[in-house]
Structure 1
Amino acid sequence: MSQGQIDVYRDWLKIADTNRPLNYYQLLRLRLFEDDVHRIREHYQKLAAHVRNNYLSGPHAARARELLDELARAMFCLTDRQRKREYDAALGRADIKEAPTRDFAQILLFNKVLAPEQLEKAKRFAEMVGLDLRDAILQQKLAPVEQVMLAYAEAQGMPYVELSDVTIDESLIPLVPAKLARQYSFVPLFEDGDQIIVAAANPLIPDVEEELRLRLGKTIRVVLCRPASINEAIAKYYPRDLPYQPIAREQKGAGPSTQQAVKEQQAPTVVERPPAGTDLVRQSALYAVIAFNLAVMLSVLVQIIINPQSQYQFGRTALIAIVIGAIAATITLVVSLQRRP
């Protein structure tokens, strides 16, 4: 049987329904209007693993990759709180209700990602060094990264994805300024109808979403993923030290803002030089703040490692950390200002 004759939904996913196109619930083999985020993800993971393990390396690899992306699109929609409401309404759901939500800490405990004492430890550490709770947990390695990020995504009402499970549409890369992608830690993934899916470690601020919408001419939807995966993708697609050669892309119906984005990315590469004057002072101050925060965090960690009781001696531990942070910030500021031309 040739590749063109394969019905991947029937033959690979064992979906008996012959009506096409399938809705997302049928595609993921879920009951209509399923609301359990964990069940939705579980079905997606099983189906994606089945396709990946049995067909991705065979003669129908290209079709398998397309199906994996299709499954991911379905999961993205049904695990995004806002998109799911809109999608269910379009399918005729009449009893759309606001589902009860838990905050991040409650989800961590409910899903048994952390024990109560671990959560309290993370909260103390987060408050001491000025981190949010999620990053404090990740830095202390109190739980597997994927479990923490899944709980965080559920609390935000957003989808979560492993970047290795989806295909990045490289034609979108030159449409997003490298500086913007690096500054806010995100990469565009692919188009999904009138939307563009963007992967990030954190929800994007509204101003960035609006700028992307104006540039790309489509609604922006964000999915969360591991911070390390985003850093790797940015290093690959938006490197600091190499000029990026934009990929030619013909965009049907592209508006002026989208065409302008392409022109900006196709402009000659400009070598970045150290800033002067006010810009240098501002940048030096930023480096000093970063140095202060890093020094404080490292100091607290070292104190806890050397003397575990120090985590209960908040005043003394914090004072030592602040002094060390101030020294590091001062040294960084002086060294950075010496770059003045």
Structure 2
Amino acid sequence: MQAMTVSAPGGLDRLTPADRPDPGAPGAGAIRVALHGSSLNYHDLGIVLGRMPSDDGRIPLADGAGTVEAVGEGVDEFAVGDSVVSCFFPDWQDGTPTIGDFSRTPGDGIDGFAQSHVVLPATAFTHAPKGYDAVEAATITTAGLTAWRALVVDAQIKAGDRLLLLGTGGVSIWALQIAKAMGARVAITSSSDDKLERAKALGADFTVNYRTDEDWGQTVFDWAEGGVDHVVEVGGPGTLAQSITAVRVGGHISLIGVLTGVSGEVPTAALMGKQARLQGLIVGSRREQQEFVRALDATGIRPVIDRRFPLDRLADAFQYEMDGSHFGKIGVEW
């Protein structure tokens, strides 16, 4: 069975094809899935580059989608031929968060989906959204579900709410699409005017180029006439102060990214003055993914795929991610 693996200490040059034993037939409670697509996340990039510790020879990629080839005894949720998509936390089925690490996250603590077939518990997958191909379906595992949880589960957005999204990567573009489907008004930032125009075409109500407007937090605060209700904060310490400026008194900030670093100062006085809720989150549960899939089926939202790469060019796909020119998600298919 073909797979892509990354050898220690990491690096794009250490991402190579490998033969792995076929996983065989599924046992009780498991399903065999022929994988056909994935999408890239910065978490995956951290693993491949060796910035996050992982086992030598790890198969990367947290997102995986494909078709059920066989079902084990006792499995009645799936049938042969069903399109399925993986879960980021296969052991977090429902309820409040109980997992605070990546020891059981595919592509990190366990092998991921850069391979042709897997046999896993049926509970490690959900049905894919109707009409999605494998790459499109794979985008919901990490980026899509993160946006859904931030806005719908935690922030509980409603029509008329005002949102701030940072950048035009996978999570932010998913959040833009979800927010507009729910009737919210959205401001979004980027360093590229071309990307801001593309965001407008997807429904963004207000755009800010943070390279030309150093006080973009205040600009967004003024646009929202007293601050936004919610911020999807993907930058981390380098952008958090501006996000606090942009949010309204009593607003909500979802802290989901560390693109500007993993630690830094928090302007505590400003946060206290805003009486805002700053909430960290990592993706979501299987139940939340099932609810997200139902919403996608109901709304007809389709993910934005910037570019697709074949699996044997996975290193090129990661280099494209590192270049930072993408809008939405980067897909991998085979």
Q: Same fold (TM over 0.5)?
A: no
User: TM-score, normalized by length of structure 2?
Assistant: 0.24
Larger proportion of strand: 2
Q: Does 1 or 2 have the higher relative contact order (CA < 8 Å, sep 6+)?
A: 2
Q: Which has the higher helix share?
A: 1
- TM-score, with normalisation over the residues of structure 1? 0.24
